[in-house]
Structure 1
């Protein structure tokens, strides 16, 4: 059947409309401009904590500011879901993929999947020992973050013997590095008497803290792998009549800094999710365009926040 001019024009318009609908699936921003050449980025987040929420917000805002389209997905602490999310992102033909991994052991499969699809992969928070197949990384020295808290404990204890507890996050990624750095930097007079994961879940953290103080009523310090869990632990210790237990933690949110100010926490290590997300997007775009001024690995600054330097904490989350 032959189509007249008007019919061909109608079919062409319908096809264009269908294409626009398909390209808008998922979380994206459609105002890509000439500064990025229509770059489309994928971001696979690892969990649902405040850190991850702020990280995603920073990635989305910076992508929009830079004129790049962005698709996002969340693996909810499931490494198999992470691999599926990466596969989905590569099927969307993204220009590059940013990954906040669930588990560093999962990265080998993630990198291989992205490489096979010809999609450059950029990491946030951690790097791999072999970066040859990775576009780059915005790296947080998580061992140093743990060590900074341990050094504060050492100074605060002043050589006196102290029992120390650890409320970890989810095994396999950030938490392991944080806890390892904390343990390695503890002084000889501080003994770890309890070390339990709470999966970055405040409810579980409260349960862990309640059990910990019952088993070890002489606890002096507790390292908690993020501030959300630390607030839950503080509640449990206070309810049990152990307000003298000193908590050290990580994040540097406004609420966390306020808790340091009023004494609920002894210290926190500021690890700005906003800085990580902003750096990741800008560096991905720079590396894709082969800008010589952009380093493959960007080191994110850390700040130990105590009562003495509350104003030094960087902004944690985009507004």
Structure 2
């Protein structure tokens, strides 16, 4: 009788531990559902800082924890960041890719753990993505070209310099595609230089300095983002050159420079809105709701 009681007690304790263990696991999983991960290509760029702040604001309003990690423009770190978020048990991951090809390795990490992924601003050329939120970069490139041509319509011949973004990034490809759709094939328009400056202000400055030395005669500069445009403005000012400079993003620094008349225009994106939209759609996915596979963010020409 005593042996039977001890055996019954042991079974009861084992069952209780199993229930506790199961409940604890369930709580951990549930906690992850209130946590969203965000991997940003670089926080050394005001555009992506604004995107992060928009996401943080929306997450707080919806009662979700947002974990933001900086990839520092390094695809290897990007993958490591996603692995870290998977370990933390996030319910969804927002990814602003460093490179559209390389990011598929990071996205596959989330896919393998069945964690939904939303890409922001730059798309991925691989992996499963639930939703992509971005401005129409092709349209924006065309808008920039149209602005330049309209501003210089009285000139018989128009010479333009193009500062390209980070090679491999979808934004670089798409903005360049839109720009060239408008300017290519026109006998009175010539792109006299087209070089990458990696979306970086300092590189925009140094590349622009080199172009000024090699090709001193041109009428306008189209930079694939505002950081490069601001670097170009500095180089042009030092060289006493008065040409039209058009950027892309609509950052605070760029808008201030446009207002002062030192830059002609910027194709203004709304990065904070992209961040908000990213979190909003991540929450919908976590709750089991359907979302659109592609969601556009509005673009507008910001000029003086």
Please name the residue that 1:295 is paired with.
Answer: 292
Mapped to 2, the partners of 1:93 and 1:112 lie a distance apart of 16
Q: Which stretch shifts more, 268-277 or 280-289? A: 280-289
Alignment RMSD (CA, Å): 2.3
Mapped to 2, the partners of 1:167 and 1:210 lie a distance apart of 12
Please name the residue that 1:124 is paired with.
Answer: 120
User: If you compute each CA radius of gyration, which structure gives the higher value, 1 or 2?
Assistant: 2
Query: Shift of residue 201 of structure 1?
Result: 2.2
Mapped to 1, the partners of 2:58 and 2:102 lie a distance apart of 27
Please name the residue that 1:281 is paired with.
Answer: 279
- Residue 135 of structure 2: which of 124, 133, 140 is its match? 140
Q: Is the 8 A contact 1:38 1:67 kept in 2?
A: no
Q: Deviations over 1:51-70 (max 9, x none)?
A: 11111111122111111111
Please name the residue that 1:150 is paired with.
Answer: 145
Mapped to 2, the partners of 1:226 and 1:191 lie a distance apart of 21
Are the structure 2 counterparts of residues 141 and 226 from structure 1 closer, same or farther at C-alpha, using a change threshold of 3 Å? same
Q: Deviations over 1:182-224 (max 9, x none)?
A: 1222251221111122222222211111111111111111111
Please name the residue that 2:227 is paired with.
Answer: 228
- Residue 79 of structure 1: which of 75, 99, 111 is its match? 75
1:88-127 equivalences under 5 Å are 88-127=84-123
Q: Deviations over 1:216-274 (max 9, x none)?
A: 1111111112222212211111111212x110111213332232233212221110111
Please name the residue that 2:13 is paired with.
Answer: none
State how many pairs are aligned. 272
Mapped to 2, the partners of 1:264 and 1:186 lie a distance apart of 24
Please name the residue that 1:198 is paired with.
Answer: 197
Unpaired segments of 5 or more residues in structure 1? 1-18, 24-33, 308-319
Please name the residue that 2:19 is paired with.
Answer: none
Are the structure 2 counterparts of residues 217 and 286 from structure 1 closer, same or farther at C-alpha, using a change threshold of 3 Å? same
1:1-319 equivalences under 5 Å are 39-47=34-42, 48-128=44-124, 133-158=128-153, 160-173=156-169, 174-186=171-183, 188=186, 189-243=188-242, 245-291=243-289, 294-307=291-304
Mapped to 1, the partners of 2:73 and 2:189 lie a distance apart of 32
Query: Shift of residue 276 of structure 1?
Result: 0.4
Query: Shift of residue 122 of structure 1?
Result: 0.8
Mapped to 2, the partners of 1:92 and 1:37 lie a distance apart of 7
Mapped to 2, the partners of 1:180 and 1:80 lie a distance apart of 28
Mapped to 2, the partners of 1:99 and 1:225 lie a distance apart of 21
Mapped to 2, the partners of 1:284 and 1:190 lie a distance apart of 44
**Once superposed, which parts of structure 1, at least 4 consecutive aligned residues long, lie more than 4 Å away?**
128-131
Unpaired segments of 5 or more residues in structure 2? 1-23
Q: Is the 8 A contact 1:165 1:194 kept in 2?
A: yes
Mapped to 2, the partners of 1:242 and 1:181 lie a distance apart of 27
